[in-house]
Chain A
Amino acid sequence: MKLKQNLFNQFFVISVSAFILTNTALAETILPSGLEIAQQVNARNEGASVSRNLIMEMVDRRGKKRVRETRGFRKYYGEEKRTMIFYLQPKNVRKTAFLTYDYPQADDDQWLYLPAMRKVRRISSSDRGDYFLGTDFTYEDIKKESKVGIEDYHWKTVGEEAIDGHHSYVVEATPINDDVAQELGYSTVIYHVDSDIWMVRQSDHWDIRDNALKTINFRDIRLVQDIWSAHILEVNNHKTGHHTRFLFSDIDYSTEVTDGIFTQQSLRRGL
């Protein structure tokens, strides 16, 4: 199993490295810079607010599947973003809720409501490299959604390719220092950004020991109320064989999300 994993790692690294080497010269001359692409990704309209249903499917290497049904809300307050996720099913996680205040220039504030304790707990925002409630997404992945952490990385365009038939720029992101790498749990991330709609279609992640860690695919990207929206997010963890699929539905950018959703009272009360 270990040999298989090593071979996979080597194949993964060699493939991407070869791609990067052959495209670097081209990238430096005619393609937009990595930072420009990252800025374009983050400038893309996500709507002032959104509500949506989300089904999380988590499958281990033996094929055992766990399913979570949730409802999520997100709203921008200037540059500050607030996100709430309510767990609806199954019973053993029902009423669990997660609230984040994401600030542009400061550590985030995060709270978790655990129904077994009937208490809202403050969570350290530096846990952003931890996996989010058993999924293969980290807290940071959840927070960023389809955007990227510009301030956390050095950005470099390394080529272009087609992902799911769509022309994409390939951008290498390396953490700005070891502390950030440790926090995020990544030594390198390769983003594949659709050049037409400035959405990430795929990202490949390496852990801090430079082993291939996981690949995230953004699929079923469609316009919803004039906003490009991925309806399926899929993560394959190359180290554990575990994978997670997020299925979004009933995405609504037009109905106003009230401020009262993003409070500790709302965490406790649930939907």
Chain B
Amino acid sequence: MIFCSLSFSAWANETGTETIASYIEYSAVLETQWAYGVTKKSNQKLQFIYEPEINVELPNNHKLTVIGRLRGDIYDKLEPGSPSQAEISPMSRRGLIGNHTDMALREFYYEATVGETYLTLGKQQIVWGQADGLKLLDVVNPQDFREFILDDFSRSRIPLWTVNTEIPINDAMLQLIWMPDQTYHALPESNSLYAFHSPLLVPNVPPGVNVNLQPIDKPNNFFADADYGARLSQFVGGWDVTLNYLYHYNDNPVLFRHLTSGSEPAVTITPRYERSHLIGGTFSNALGDFVLRGEVGYSTDRYFMVKGIDDRNGVNKSDEFAYVFGLDWSGMTDTFFSAQLFQSNLINHHPELVRDKVDTTLTFLARRNFINDTLVAEVLLIHSTNNSDGLIRPKVSYEWHDNIKVWMGMDIFYGNQTGLFGQFAKNDRLVVGVIWGM
């Protein structure tokens, strides 16, 4: 930011105040969303969002971007009261205004070219990967799960303070990232509407046993606990390919469990973040009417919960090999179909693990545009074959005016309550939204 300040003040001295205004651009998004739970017959949210964005053009093609967000929700069911934000670093936390409103500096970054290197410094989102709706390599930034996975990824993705450099090497591009921001997934608290209760995510505790939940053991060393990574990307022979590496704390805390026997048995749960190496790659190419795309990733030192309570610490460590293959088809005018296969394999699978050795998820998306793209109808299906549960999301959106879009959709969960999606089977909802760009 020092770099930014120096550049800005030098530029301001050379340029008159009136001229400066012509280099500053303001825009904003106003959005309201109403969600009604059709199973419980109750409102889930009536949310208002104001997202201002300021772009400043500086000399030598340097740029400064500031994006904020003010959000209010009349019903306060997604994050009742004042969430602790324990997973978020102090420098990235939202400001809470009562129980119904919060404000956040979403993004704040400075872009500059130094020689051949392109620098993006500040709070930002970095998106890796080729998959839609499923995250394999797109794990650079953590996610806010206040609405499970129902919110837009760009909105639920939590921006991090990051040093992001892109260096051209012949025809390839090397991206190096360093993130000293110790912020992890924002998980819903137990009294919230989308609190996790699937045994795939929450430890099994027998009835009558007291639970002692310890505070999260969170990394706190600015340098030693920073995440860092690299991506080499190239367009070669018609293929877009990348090689990715990320050394990071997995954004889900490992729930270490300790059982105390005696007259009053108790389970102590200690959430702690653990390091992992992720190495992988992506590819995509257009072949006739089809686009083939995919991601492959290998993660070391992942931790997975075990079923029984006799286990020493309630978790088992294993490496994980995962991949996504996607196929898009757009052979018919204004129509788009997409299918994806996502599989995760545990290298060191233990029979007592709550999850299977191979976990498979399928997605299907069908979309059709009407009336010169002003009306778009789509349906997305996400299906877990292991648990036979999933999510169906039909949606219709209409561009009413240049800057006003209205939309309506449903989020329909199905399957057993023990499943990742089935746990929210009673949260089916109708959602209506209006978005106004200014």
Q: A interface vs B, CB < 8 Å?
A: 58, 60, 66-67, 90-92, 94, 107, 109-110, 115-119, 121-127, 129-131, 133-136, 185, 240, 242, 263-265, 269
A-B contacts at CB below 8 angstroms, number = 96
* Given A91-B437, A264-B233, CB of A124 within 8 Å of CB of B289: yes
User: Does any Cβ of A come within 8 Å of B98's Cβ?
Assistant: no
* Given A60-B371, A91-B438, A265-B173, CB of A118 within 8 Å of CB of B127: yes
Shortest CB-to-CB span from A58 to chain B, Å, is: 6
Partner of B127, one of A119, A122, A124, A263: A119
User: Does any Cβ of A come within 8 Å of B28's Cβ?
Assistant: yes
Q: Which of B251-278 contact A (CB under 8 A)?
A: none
What's the Cα separation between A136 and B334 when bound, in Å? Answer: 13
User: Does any Cβ of A come within 8 Å of B93's Cβ?
Assistant: no
Residues of B contacting A242 in the complex (Cβ-Cβ under 8 angstroms): 372
* Given A90-B437, A92-B403, CB of A135 within 8 Å of CB of B233: no
Among residues of B, the one whose C-beta sits closest to the C-beta of A106 is B238
What 0/1 readout, one digit per residue, does chain B (401-421) give for beta carbons within 8 Å of chain A?
Answer: 111010000000000000000
Residues of B contacting A135 in the complex (Cβ-Cβ under 8 angstroms): 372
**A67-B402 in contact (CB<8A):** yes
Residues of B contacting A90 in the complex (Cβ-Cβ under 8 angstroms): 402-403, 437
User: Does any Cβ of A come within 8 Å of B211's Cβ?
Assistant: no
**B27-A94 in contact (CB<8A):** yes
**B127-A131 in contact (CB<8A):** no
Partner of B28, one of A60, A66, A91: A91
What's the Cα separation between A125 and B290 when bound, in Å? Answer: 9
Residues of A contacting B27 in the complex (Cβ-Cβ under 8 angstroms): 91, 94
Among residues of B, the one whose C-beta sits closest to the C-beta of A125 is B286
* Given A66-B399, A118-B127, CB of A131 within 8 Å of CB of B173: no
**B240-A133 in contact (CB<8A):** no
User: Does any Cβ of A come within 8 Å of B217's Cβ?
Assistant: no
Residues of B contacting A127 in the complex (Cβ-Cβ under 8 angstroms): 289, 330
Shortest CB-to-CB span from B142 to chain A, Å, is: 15
Q: Which of B326-384 contact A (CB under 8 A)?
A: 328, 330-331, 333-334, 371-374
Residues of B contacting A136 in the complex (Cβ-Cβ under 8 angstroms): 372
What's the Cα separation between A92 and B403 when bound, in Å? Answer: 6
**B290-A124 in contact (CB<8A):** yes
User: Does any Cβ of A come within 8 Å of B152's Cβ?
Assistant: yes
**B291-A122 in contact (CB<8A):** yes
Q: Which of B161-179 contact A (CB under 8 A)?
A: 166, 173
Shortest CB-to-CB span from A146 to chain B, Å, is: 23
Q: B interface vs A, CB < 8 Å?
A: 27-29, 111, 118, 125, 127, 129, 132, 152-154, 166, 173, 233, 235, 238, 240, 284-291, 293, 328, 330-331, 333-334, 371-374, 399, 401-403, 405, 435, 437-438
**B293-A133 in contact (CB<8A):** no
What's the Cα separation between A264 and B172 when bound, in Å? Answer: 11
**B373-A110 in contact (CB<8A):** no
Shortest CB-to-CB span from A180 to chain B, Å, is: 13
Most buried by B among A66, A122, A269: A122
* Given A117-B154, A123-B286, CB of A131 within 8 Å of CB of B334: yes
**A117-B153 in contact (CB<8A):** yes
**A126-B334 in contact (CB<8A):** no
**A130-B127 in contact (CB<8A):** no
What's the Cα separation between A60 and B293 when bound, in Å? Answer: 36
What's the Cα separation between A139 and B328 when bound, in Å? Answer: 18
Among residues of B, the one whose C-beta sits closest to the C-beta of A266 is B118
Residues of A contacting B132 in the complex (Cβ-Cβ under 8 angstroms): 117
In order of increasing CB-CB distance, the 6 nearest A-B pairs are A91-B437, A134-B373, A92-B437, A134-B372, A124-B286, A122-B284
Shortest CB-to-CB span from A178 to chain B, Å, is: 14
Residues of B contacting A185 in the complex (Cβ-Cβ under 8 angstroms): 333
Would you give 24 A-B contacts (Cβ < 8 Å), ordered by A? Answer: A66-B399, A90-B403, A91-B27, A91-B403, A92-B399, A92-B437, A107-B288, A117-B127, A118-B125, A121-B291, A123-B291, A123-B330, A124-B290, A124-B291, A124-B328, A125-B286, A126-B286, A126-B288, A126-B289, A131-B372, A134-B373, A135-B372, A185-B333, A263-B173
**B233-A107 in contact (CB<8A):** no
Shortest CB-to-CB span from A158 to chain B, Å, is: 28
Residues of B contacting A124 in the complex (Cβ-Cβ under 8 angstroms): 286-291, 328, 330
Among residues of A, the one whose C-beta sits closest to the C-beta of B283 is A122
Residues of A contacting B125 in the complex (Cβ-Cβ under 8 angstroms): 118
Among residues of B, the one whose C-beta sits closest to the C-beta of A120 is B240
Shortest CB-to-CB span from B204 to chain A, Å, is: 37
Q: 15 new A-B pairs (CB below 8 Å) besides A124-B288, A131-B373?
A: A90-B402, A91-B29, A91-B437, A92-B435, A94-B27, A109-B235, A115-B154, A116-B152, A121-B291, A122-B284, A124-B289, A126-B289, A134-B373, A136-B372, A240-B372
What's the Cα separation between A135 and B235 when bound, in Å? Answer: 29
What's the Cα separation between A60 and B402 when bound, in Å? Answer: 13
Partner of A264, one of B235, B293, B328: B235
Residues of A contacting B153 in the complex (Cβ-Cβ under 8 angstroms): 117-118
What's the Cα separation between A110 and B154 when bound, in Å? Answer: 23
**A122-B373 in contact (CB<8A):** no
What's the Cα separation between A135 and B372 when bound, in Å? Answer: 6
Partner of B373, one of A123, A133, A263: A133
Shortest CB-to-CB span from B118 to chain A, Å, is: 7
